[in-house]
């Protein structure tokens, strides 16, 4: 069980703050990663802030109508089971990378040594 902070994201290159126009979730709601949490208005854009985690909303800190700076705390989320999800995602990523990597054989290493020796002796002749 981990409590994660959801902070106001950078919604544009020169955007420094945003106003929470509407919360799309309430305390106790279960949300998935990338689900919209709130609608935010800035001087340049109106956008939905997505969840960075899967979990349950524990506390809403920034209230509707409140203007907060980029990086300021919006809410807390309980990501119980997040470690299990990350582990499963990491295992899948590791398996995929293992399948795409070519194993280096002793023959490959031997050939590499031969080429290095040959190239270094050739360059020393110049």
Cα–Cα–Cα angle for 19, 23, 26, rounded to 5 degrees: 145
- Separation between Cα atoms, residue 49 and residue 25, nearest integer Å: 11
Residue 109 inside a domain? The answer is: no
- Separation between Cα atoms, residue 121 and residue 126, nearest integer Å: 9
Residue 69 inside a domain? The answer is: yes
The pLDDT, as a whole number, for residue 80 is 72
CATH of the domain at 40: 2.40.50.100
Q: What is the pLDDT along the chain (126 residues), one digit of tens a residue?
A: 799 999 999 988 889 999 999 999 999 999 999 999 999 999 988 999 999 999 999 999 999 999 999 999 999 999 976 444 444 555 555 555 454 444 555 566 665 656 556 555 555 555
How many structural domains comprise the chain? 1
Residue 14 inside a domain? The answer is: yes
Alpha carbon 126 to chain centroid, angstroms = 52
Q: Where are the alpha helices (DSSP H) in 1-126?
A: 82-100, 106-125
Residue 108 inside a domain? The answer is: no
Alpha carbon 125 to chain centroid, angstroms = 52
Residue 100 inside a domain? The answer is: no
pTM beyond 0.75, yes or no: no
> What domain range is 22 assigned to?
1-83
Residue 32 inside a domain? The answer is: yes
The pLDDT, as a whole number, for residue 53 is 94
Residue 37 inside a domain? The answer is: yes
């Amino acid at each position: 069980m981990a409590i994660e902070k959801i902070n106001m994201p950078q919604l544009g290159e020169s955007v420094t703050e945003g106003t929470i126009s509407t919360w799309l979730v309430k305390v106790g709601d279960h949300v998935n990663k990338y689900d919209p949490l709130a609608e935010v208005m800035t001087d340049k854009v109106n956008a939905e802030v997505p969840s960075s985690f899967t979990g349950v909303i524990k506390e809403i800190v920034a209230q509707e109508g409140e203007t907060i700076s980029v990086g300021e705390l919006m809410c807390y989320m309980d990501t119980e089971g997040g470690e299990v999800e990350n582990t499963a995602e990491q295992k899948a990523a590791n398996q995929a990378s293992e399948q795409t990597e070519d194993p280096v054989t002793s023959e490959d290493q031997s050939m590499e040594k031969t080429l290095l020796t040959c190239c270094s002796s050739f360059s020393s002749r110049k």
